[in-house]
Amino acid sequence: MLELHLPETARPEPLLLYSQGGDWPLRLALQAVPGGGLSFVLEQCGAVLHQTLNPTGQGRAGRLRLSYAWDALAGSGRLTLEQPDGGQMQIAGLSAPKPWRLRDLMALTGPLRFIAPAVAYLALSSKVEPAGPAPGLIPSIPVATPAGYRALSSLQRGDLVLTSGGEAVPVLQMVERQVPAIGTFAPVRLRAPYFGLLQDIQVATFQRLVLSGSEVEYLFGRPEVLVPAGNLVGTGTALTSRAETPLITYCQAVLPDHEPLIAAGAMTESLFLGRLRRDPQRLAASLLAPFGASVLPEHRQPKFPVLRAFDSAVLADRRTA
């Protein structure tokens, strides 16, 4: 798995290159291609896998996460390119992928390969990592319920939580994921008392806050907006936080209608599924796969805009003034 920024380019530009000969020859080439796409070429013992992906089909998409997963014994694999929050995704199913030698995998993280500055990090996992909607709250974050605040990780299916309007809604599912604490998975510390916080909390950079108020209506003409936590770093309301361990665990609740959670006093977005249950391929690749389509809700697209970094900073400055 790796995260990268697709560069603006008029011709193919290498992002990751690795090759070795011997009794198990292998060559891996990852390139940015014009139009915002990504070319993946893997040659192993004469077999060639070539895929070109573009998760939006609309040109450059900013930061992306690429995952290549395989199960050689099962004869299956997949190549996934997605936005960090799982909002846009493209999956290419693979048949009969060949295994890798452990020393070649380790060499991918060492000096024997070329890696471009556009690549933020490269990580290896011993299992097939999920793709799609991703949790972004630290498990210990207190969440408002009719009986008071409870740690998010203590919630179970059927428990009630309070939404921004004061209504009690049931938790449909809880999801949890352990990830490397780097890139868009690196934690951001949101500072109290901004955004109504009763205490500082840690969230992933892609976790979105639901903000409202007179300045929101004045600046953006909407009653509410969505602000990714990473857009607030450097404004005084949020700081980059260093994780204590190389891996970090995030969790999140699935609610019936994508209502916001009250996390330590702040309105935070619950896990957005969209029409995930209608897409068997995406569902099978996601954290929600064990639950099955029949028990998952269908969420309408958020009716409020997601602010860009500049607009988020302007709003944060108004909150700190």
Edge-to-edge, what's the strand order for the sheet holding 119-122?
A: 89-95, 76-82, 63-71, 2-5, 119-122
Within 163-279, strands assigned E span 168-170, 173-180, 187-190, 201-204, 208-212, 224-228, 238-240, 247-254, 260-263, 266-269
Residue 59: band (very low, low, confident or very high) from pLDDT cuts 50, 70, 90:
very low
Residue 205, pLDDT > 90, answer yes
**Other beta carbons less than 10 A from residue 98's beta carbon:** 16
- Mean pLDDT of all residues in the chain? 90
CB contact at 8 A, 184 and 198: no
Element (H or E) spanning 30, and its range? strand 26-33
Structural contact between residues 259 and 270, judged by C-beta atoms closer than 8 angstroms:
yes
pLDDT for the residue numbered 26: 92
Residues of the chain with pLDDT > 90, as a percent, come to: 64
CB 207 within 8 A of CB 268: yes
Q: Which residue has the higher pLDDT, 56 or 68?
A: 68
**pLDDT digit string (tens) for 228-242?**
999 999 899 999 888
For residue 50, pLDDT over 60 is answered with yes
Single-letter amino acid code for the residue at 250: Y
Residue range 98-134, pLDDT digits in tens: 889 888 998 888 887 899 999 999 999 998 899 999 9
Instruction: Check whether 182 has a pLDDT greater than 60.
Output: yes
Runs of H (alpha helix) within 95-225: 102-107, 214-220
State the pLDDT confidence band at 275, using cuts at 50, 70 and 90. very high
